[in-house]
Amino acid sequence: MKTYLVTGGAGFIGSNFIHYMFEKYDNDIVIINIDSLTYAGNLENLKDIEKRDNYFFVKADICDKEAVKRVFTEHEIDRVVHFAAESHVDRSIKEPEVFVRTNVLGTAVMLNEAKAAWELPDGSYREGKKFLHVSTDEVFGSLEEDGGYFYETTPFSPHSPYSASKAGSDMLVKAYMDTYKFPANITNCSNNYGPYQFPEKLIPLIINNALSGKKLPVYGDGKNVRDWLYVRDHAKAIDMVIEKGRLFETYNVGGHNEKQNIEIVNIIIEALQEMLSDDDPRKKLVSKDLITYVEDRKGHDRRYAIAPDKIKKEIGWEPETMFKEGIKLTIKWYFEHEDWMKNVTSGDYQKYYDDMYGNR
């Protein structure tokens, strides 16, 4: 039975990964989730699995060396899946030091403690151990609008404090692989969307605002292009890289779903109008008239697009969910979890930890 240490497991991608793993492996694995529960960490994302005997939650900051060391001391960790990161570009522009601390220092702490726990006296590592560092395509910078893709060999060219801090963490992991032959992989993924995404990000923001009849803010001319990946497809890719990826390799994980931001907004509006019943009063609120162009983000990259050729060839993974299907699944989930969205937008979700764990 393998034991997984998942950092940032109460966040968007981390919680989806934990759900995916329990659906696939059920009681054949143990998952320990370490999360500091910042604004984007939400234990309500994991309510349905929190009472499992093979799931444990640890409230701790990955920059806290002693807390991380304690997890490795108390548990026999076989896999580290390192999601924990500050990830919102706009926040990074306002508070860059927070991003450097979590994304760079936090990754260094995780690497050091995993290395200390797994390393043998001769400098080799205990059999079957692996560290997977989950990163972003934003480390590569921006592509021309008329073509080209990010490959694993594309030079880093970050343009925001967020992407620079993630590039720094990627380079740290690479350095540990090169210097210590530390058993690790790196994945760089395109924009994720799906259930449990915090509504500061484009897709849940547009869904929530449109249903409330609020303005739909679009940066600049709305023609910035992103490659969109349904989060469950990403979870599957991570699992496959953990089990089948060659040590010391980096794998790009892309969705083959390039869309301009304004296209995304229009697709969401059309999907909402199609999925809302005629007697639902929100249907009258949803309109393209709500689209409002706002001043462009500083250092806003024009286009991202990932070539997932390597992961397909070596591991056999490819995206399964096309965008129009994935966006309907996402909207359906938000329809079915209106209380979740209400708690997130009101801030009440932050009380959940105290309610669940405060007296333990």
The rounded distance, in Å, linking the Cα atoms of 260 and 264 is 6
**184 with 245: CB under 8 angstroms?**
no
Task: State the Cα–Cα distance between residues 163 and 172, nearest whole angstrom.
Answer: 14
d(CA 84, CA 135): 10
- Which is catalytic among the residues 4, 55, 162, 353? 162
Catalytic annotation, pick one of 35, 44, 78, 138: 138
DSSP secondary structure string for all residues of 197-243? --TTSHHHHHHHHHHHT--EEEETTS--EEEEEEHHHHHHHHHHHHH
Give the sign of the dihedral formed by CA 161, CA 164, CA 168, CA 169: positive
Catalytic residue flag (residue 233): no
Dihedral sign computed on CA atoms, order 171, 172, 175, 176 = negative
Compute the 3-state secondary structure of the chain and give helix, strand, coil in percent, each to the nearest 5: 50, 20, 35
The verdict on whether 137 is a catalytic residue reads yes
The beta-strand segments (E) located in 78-156 are: 79-82, 130-136
Torsion from C-alpha of 204, 207, 212, 215, nearest 10 degrees: 90
Catalytic residue selected from 137, 227, 233, 239:
137
How are beta strands 216-219 and 258-260 bridged, if at all? unpaired
DSSP element (H, E) containing 96: helix 96-100
**226 near 300, Cβ under 8 Å?**
no
Give how far Cα 52 sits from Cα of 35, 57, 359, Å.
18, 11, 19
CB 11 within 8 A of CB 60: no
Catalytic residue annotation: 137-138, 162
